[in-house]
Amino acid sequence: MTEPLILQPVKPADACVIWLHGLGADRYDFLPVAEALQETLLSTRFVLPQAPHRPVTINGGYEMPSWYDILAMSPARAINREQLEESANRVIELIEVQRASGIDASRIFLAGFSQGGAVVLHTAFLKWQGPLGGVVALSTYAPTFSDELQLSASQQRIPVLSMHGQYDDVVQNSMGRSAYEHLKLRGVTVTWQEYPMGHEVLPEEIRDIGVWLAERLR
């Protein structure tokens, strides 16, 4: 298993963001973003884990970095749930490492783009029991959310920033909006922001993430 990329802040770390990349990318994908955010988040550590290489069914079985296999695209994404659970457990292990280093769970954030975002939403709202600083869900969806979703009191208190492109043709805007609605309906403080973009990240979006994180790390 490839070790995560860890960016230490200029001041002693008292907060942490665990950031998962998307399908086919790697742990270096969001390194420039993390470096930009650390310019203002001076005591926030960033942990960038690497997904394992595995065959991806929808890509003809071609092996690539993937948090879980995607079996089919329609009518809704069919996924390998066992692999998703494995990835979520790995995120929980990373949370526990940060807690053991002295960072309070209420100052640990999960962030993820696309498939990585699906993993952090699943981790925060179906696996993790306890406080978290929040979740940043970028151009993503929630394949394990359903009408039967029930949240604990601690899960309801996890704030979420959902961000999506208006012209996303990889993860449709409506899929991200559905995840947002599931959380909003269950009393989560969740913010929805759209940008005039496709399946990507814009500088404006990164600035907005920085503001959102800073507000919760005062």
Q: Any idea which residues carry the catalytic annotation?
A: 114, 168, 199
Q: Of 54, 33, 61, 78, whose CA–CA distance to 204 is shortest?
A: 33
Q: Coil, strand or helix: which one is 16? A: strand
- For 101, phi then psi, to 5°, come to -80, -5
Query: CA 132 to CA 127: how far, in whole Å?
Result: 12
Q: Which letter does DSSP use for residue 95 in this model?
A: H
Give Cα separations from 130 to 108, 137, 189 (angstroms): 11, 19, 16
- What's the chain's Rg over C-alpha atoms? 16
